[in-house]
Structure formats: structure tokens, C-alpha cells
Amino acid sequence: MQNIRLPAVAGMFYPAEPDVLAREVGALLTAAKPCEYRPKALIVPHAGYVYSGPVAASGYAALKKVAAHVRRVVLLGPTHRVAVSGLALPGSDAFATPLGTIPVDQEAAQSISHLPQVSVSPQAHALEHSLEVQLPFLQAVLSGFKLLPLAVGMTSPEAVAEVLELLWGGDETLIVISSDLSHYLPYEIAQRADAVTVQSILGMESLIAHEQACGGTPISGLLEAARHHHLTPHLLDSRNSGDTAGKRDSVVGYASFAFTGSHA
């Protein structure tokens, strides 16, 4: 019997009904601005779709030219509910969403299991939304892929980069980092703060603090690996919840980036 990680935030962060979810994701992707990139990696936000869905969709819509080649998605996001040291594998066989089930790449999981910063923690994944909200988008734009989900806790960018290096692969592997930007600042202050963070990422600066982005550690790890592989970052969209569906006295920032190689 398979050990399947069931949806934890369906009906809260995104619709729980399969047909409603498929229509919403499809509409978000259709509305996203087209681009000509061929991404090796993405950074995308992870709030409820009503807030960050349009920004996330800009990242996934950019996969159009590479989608047919992707067979594995390495998905990293910060932990919000369970404290983790290092990076945690889920210990499950598959992840389920209202749109279906995605197999976990057991071979890839085994390839990093010897690293001291890698552990197995079903508890870290059980209620974590930062990874789950990416799955319906991935299911909408890719087919026949396996997932390697990693919940990132207290660790270093270097430790994250080491994991990414082992999983880097070729065109068959897509890396996705799930992160929002600033949290609960007034609208104008958030805009200024997020503009600094966006420029830091575009400038491939090595350290993005947690105050700048809740996924600062996995972002920083990706930046280190991206420099090594000579990738170029591109900003696809940057907004906050005050631009989409929230009040402006306290907002959360979002941005999507595509990282491309020489073939972009």
C-alpha cells in the first residue's frame, strides 16, 4: 500500500473541487504574460491563489518551451509549522492534490540521503503549504513527472547548494524554489523593501535574509548553484497582496523569477 501525502490546504489556499481548481489554474496561466525563456529554475510565491496566484502563474507559464522535457521537479520551500534542521524529505511515495497524484522520485531521494543535512520528516511535510500550493500548477503545465519535495529548515545556503548540485541533472530536471517576500508591512514600505530584494536576486547576491523572503535560505542556495552553472535570473512579475486581493495597511510581497542558461 502506497504512503501518500494528502492535501492539507485544499479548500483554503486553493479550491478543493478538481474542476474548479483546474479552471482557476488554467485561467491564471492564460492571463500570465507570455515569455520566450527556457527556465532551468524558478522562484515562485506560495500564498493563497487569490493573493499570489497571478504572480506564481507567471513563473509556470514560462515553462512552455521546456515542459515537454521535464521529468523531475526538485521543489524546495521553507517550513512554517514544524522545526527542521537541514532539509527534510517526506518519506512518502507520492503527493496527492485534487488534480491527481504525483510520484515521489525515490531514486533522487536516495541520491542525497547520505548527506548530513538531509533527513526524513513526514511531520514537516504533513501540513506544509509552501510546497503543496505549487503542485496544481505543476500538474497543469507538466506531464509524466516525478517530484522531489524538500522542506527547508535551519541550514546554510551552502548546504542547500550542495543538495541542488547532486540533483542538478539536465533538461529533464526543473528546480522550483517556493518563497514569498516581505511580510505584513504597509504597502509603500513593502514595495520599497521588495524592490531591494528583487535587485539582490537579479544581482545574484549570495545571501537573502529571512526578513526579505521567508524562503531566503533555499533562494540563497539556488543563487550559489546558479552562479556555478552560469545561469541568468529574469524577473517575471513582482506584486504584493495589496495589488491583488488584500488590504494595503499590511501586505505580503510576491515575485516570480526564471533562471536560464545559455540556451535560454
245 close to 51: Cβ distance less than 8 angstroms: yes
Sign for the CA dihedral angle at 153, 157, 163, 167 comes to positive
Residue that is written with C-alpha cell 497571478 in the block:
54
Give me the pLDDT at residue 1, please: 78
Q: Which CA distances in Å does 243 have to 14, 123, 204?
A: 19, 34, 26
Residue 189's pLDDT is 97
Which single residue is written with the C-alpha cell 537573502?
208
| Contacts (Cβ under 8 Å, ≥6 apart) of 27 | none
Quick check: 224 and 191 in contact, CB under 8 A? no
CA angle at residue 37 from 194 to 258, to 5 degrees? 30
What residue segments make up the domains of the chain, in order of their start? Answer: 4-260
What is the pLDDT, as a whole number, of residue 205?
82
Q: What is the pLDDT along the chain (264 residues), one digit of tens a residue?
A: 789 999 999 999 999 999 999 999 999 999 999 899 999 999 999 999 999 999 999 999 999 999 999 999 999 999 998 999 999 999 999 999 999 999 999 999 999 999 999 999 999 999 999 999 999 999 999 999 999 999 999 999 999 999 999 999 999 999 999 999 999 999 999 999 999 999 999 999 869 999 999 999 999 999 999 999 999 999 999 999 999 998 999 999 999 999 999 654
User: Concatenated DSSP letters for 173-240?
Assistant: EEEEEE----EEE-HHHHHHHHHHHHHHHHTT-S---TTT-TTHHHHHHHHHHHHHTT-EEEEEEEEE
Backbone dihedral angles phi then psi of residue 232, each to the nearest 5 degrees: -120, 130
Asked whether the whole model's pTM tops 0.85, one would answer: yes
pLDDT score for 263: 52
List of residues 6+ apart from 11 with CB closer than 8 A: none
Multiple choice CATH, 4-260, 1.10.132.50, 3.30.1360.230, 3.40.830.10, 3.20.20.20: 3.40.830.10
